Structure 1
Amino acid sequence: MARIALKVDVDTWRGTRLGVPALVDLFRAEGADATFLFSLGPDHTGRAVLRALRPGFLKKVARTSVLEHYGLRTLLYGMLLPGPDIGLREAPLLRSVRDAGFEVGVHCWDHVRWQDHLLREDDAWAAREMARAVKRFTEIFGCPPRVHGAAGWQFHDGAARAEAAQEIRSASDVRGTHPFVPVNAAGETLGPTQFPTTLPTLDELIGLDGADAGNVHTRLLERTAGQSQDQVFTLHAELEGQRLMPVLSRLMAGWVRQGHTLVALRTLEWAAHGMTLPRHTIVQQEVPGRSGRLAVQGPCIG
């Protein structure tokens, strides 16, 4: 059967304080490994209100009960309330995740800033944002990060070059089907090996085609039944670490019954070591259940 890597995106201060410890406890109880990717600067979640102008955003908000999952106070950070600095406030908690044996890495400096501005800015902007996050990670953990996963799957060639400049060893920044080396249209290597998110997230499925919190796990289990290909599943500390934790627990139990092993991204990296991986470009596409365009594994180049 397959290895399923659990990638935890931690977007907010609330998710860090409440969701991360709960997920650590769940994973330890179930014998599962996972990769935690942290937002390390200010929580400016409230500024995401500007996404209401994007096609499909309000529909997604209605389907996934954003206020219920994130809380009113979080939705005011960066607008009516100052954004708390997550890395400064929660450094001991972040180190405790590493000390519990889990892989830790960088999600971003400012989640909303990266997600809403990356594609409108130049490569130098991406390099500065990446450097800020890596510097804070190094201050907290005493060593540079090995792994990065882009906020909101917002990513492009310049961001891949920024990862390479910061000596990131592996990444999970895009949506796709299998590990690959990111290249540009000319075939030039851009950054570290990508281990893309291969499965839909719970919030992409809930509210569509009759899926709800009571049955959504079965939709994912249908996709992985009898499969031997490794997968990457992205979850969020704000969702599966809180109100959707019972759903995650049922999903994990189902994967174990199917014979799959729940691992961290580093396990997939070790498995790929020495392999000649395909070379793909990165393109921007819409993904069902998400608003806007995301970075997606593109065509194979040579």
Structure 2
Amino acid sequence: MPILALKIDVDTLRGTLEGVPALLRLLDKHQLRATFLFSLGPDHTGRALKRVFRPGFLAKVQRTSVTSHYGLKTLLYGTLLPGPDIGRRAADPMRDADRAGHETGVHTWDHILWQDYVVRKNADWTRRQLQLAANRYGDIFGRPPQVHGAAGWQMNDAAYVLEQELGFTLASDGRGTHPFLPVVQGRTLSVPQLPTTLPTLDELIGVDGLNEHNVADHLLRLSTDGRDHVYTLHAELEGGRLAPVFDRLLQGWKAAGLHCTSMRSYADSLNLASLPHHAVRLGSIAGRSGTLALQGAAV
């Protein structure tokens, strides 16, 4: 039975307070487990507006109705409004996910800071950001984090090495086709990467005639090819306006015989010691502006 791992990125305060509870209800309805990756520090979403000058970003904003998904208040955090501390304001929904039996992990400390700067930063800066997130996770859950999924699929070489040093045992930091062990500067690391293999809803909607009414059927066709997959969803989207789309996806995946589960459950089905070794690189994908971490060539 093919596996479809559900990876839920939670980027904002609103996504944590509103999207996470909505997704917990939906997953409970289908009796499924998923992996929730939390942003744990300040919500500075408004600072993302400076990306307007990046190729493709403005087009994405126009076709995906960012304001309706994130809300005007969220889009002012870090600019006209101070950025609220997500971990302090919204620890209860995070713990609710854990109590409901879902896997939890680290998405980032400051989503905008990591997404916009990590590629150009050094190891000391990267260590501080990861350590801040790991410490806050420990404060909330009473244990160190085991899973990491990079904000915006943005990484640098130091981040892969630090995941191993800081005790993470599983990661999903980039886009690719199958699980692998990352090779960084000639060194094979021990933290397996389970890359996102499917496009996200915000990459699909508004392209080639796809909309909220037909995108589920398109994604079902992509994901029912007999292979295992990792699907990344966002608490702000599938836990909000696009919840009906996610509901249809869950129904369709179950009807097609896919085993929808958490990242950890997917990893437990693999022989991690025999995973192929792949380089990691930066590149672009359809529907998303800028560059992001990609699974590279086999080494």
Does TM-score exceed 0.5, indicating one fold? yes
Aligned to 1:89: 89
Pair 128,191 (structure 1): closer, same or farther in 2 beyond 3 Å: farther
Task: Indicate if the aligned counterparts of 1:38 and 1:105 stay in contact, CA closer than 8 A.
Answer: yes
More divergent stretch after superposition (269-278 vs 114-123):
269-278
Could you tell me which amino acid in structure 1 is paired with residue 245 of structure 2?
Answer: V
Cα distance in 2, alignment partners of residues 50 and 248 from structure 1: 30
Cα distance in 1, alignment partners of residues 58 and 190 from structure 2: 34
| Aligned partner of residue 92 in structure 2, secondary structure | helix
Could you tell me which amino acid in structure 2 is paired with residue 13 of structure 1?
Answer: L
Task: Indicate if the aligned counterparts of 1:283 and 1:297 stay in contact, CA closer than 8 A.
Answer: yes
| Aligned partner of residue 275 in structure 2, secondary structure | coil
1:291 aligns with 2:289: yes
Aligned to 1:35: 35
Cα distance in 2, alignment partners of residues 9 and 295 from structure 1: 16
Residue correspondences, number? 299
1:219 aligns with 2:208: no
Task: Indicate if the aligned counterparts of 1:156 and 1:282 stay in contact, CA closer than 8 A.
Answer: no
Could you tell me which amino acid in structure 2 is paired with residue 216 of structure 1?
Answer: V
| Aligned partner of residue 252 in structure 1, secondary structure | helix
Aligned to 2:140: 140
Could you tell me which amino acid in structure 2 is paired with residue 168 of structure 1?
Answer: F
Cα distance in 1, alignment partners of residues 59 and 159 from structure 2: 29
Could you tell me which amino acid in structure 1 is paired with residue 227 of structure 2?
Answer: Q
Report how far residue 270 of structure 1 moved: 0.7
Cα distance in 2, alignment partners of residues 93 and 184 from structure 1: 36
**Mapping for residues 266-281 of structure 1, pairs under 5 Å:** 266-281=264-279
Cα distance in 2, alignment partners of residues 55 and 200 from structure 1: 19
Report how far residue 279 of structure 1 moved: 0.4
Q: Give CA-to-partner distance per residue, 1:116-165, whole Å, 9 cap, x none.
A: 01012112211110010000000110000110000000012211011111
Task: Indicate if the aligned counterparts of 1:161 and 1:191 stay in contact, CA closer than 8 A.
Answer: no
Aligned to 1:111: 111
Report how far residue 228 of structure 1 moved: 2.7
Could you tell me which amino acid in structure 1 is paired with residue 277 of structure 2?
Answer: R
Task: Indicate if the aligned counterparts of 2:282 and 2:291 stay in contact, CA closer than 8 A.
Answer: yes
Aligned to 2:174: 174
Task: Indicate if the aligned counterparts of 2:192 and 2:272 stay in contact, CA closer than 8 A.
Answer: no
**With structure 1 as the length reference, what TM-score do the two structures score?**
0.97
Unaligned runs of 5+ in 1: none
Could you tell me which amino acid in structure 2 is paired with residue 194 of structure 1?
Answer: Q
Aligned to 1:263: 261
Unaligned runs of 5+ in 2: none
Q: Give CA-to-partner distance per residue, 1:83-118, whole Å, 9 cap, x none.
A: 110001111221111011000000000000000010
- After the TM superposition, which parts of structure 1 deviate over 2 Å for at least 4 consecutive aligned residues? none
Cα distance in 2, alignment partners of residues 172 and 3 from structure 1: 15
Task: Indicate if the aligned counterparts of 1:280 and 1:299 stay in contact, CA closer than 8 A.
Answer: yes
**Mapping for residues 117-128 of structure 1, pairs under 5 Å:** 117-128=117-128
Aligned to 1:16: 16
Task: Indicate if the aligned counterparts of 1:12 and 1:86 stay in contact, CA closer than 8 A.
Answer: yes
**Mapping for residues 34-113 of structure 1, pairs under 5 Å:** 34-113=34-113
Report how far residue 73 of structure 1 moved: 0.3
Q: Give CA-to-partner distance per residue, 1:52-80, whole Å, 9 cap, x none.
A: 11110000000100011100000000000
Cα distance in 2, alignment partners of residues 123 and 220 from structure 1: 37
1:208 aligns with 2:207: yes
More divergent stretch after superposition (7-16 vs 123-132):
123-132
| Aligned partner of residue 280 in structure 1, secondary structure | strand
How much identity, in percent, do the aligned residues show?
54
Task: Indicate if the aligned counterparts of 2:46 and 2:76 stay in contact, CA closer than 8 A.
Answer: yes
Aligned to 1:245: 243
Report how far residue 288 of structure 1 moved: 0.4
Cα distance in 2, alignment partners of residues 88 and 196 from structure 1: 30
| Aligned partner of residue 175 in structure 1, secondary structure | coil
User: CA RMSD for the aligned pairs?
Assistant: 1.0
**With structure 2 as the length reference, what TM-score do the two structures score?**
0.98
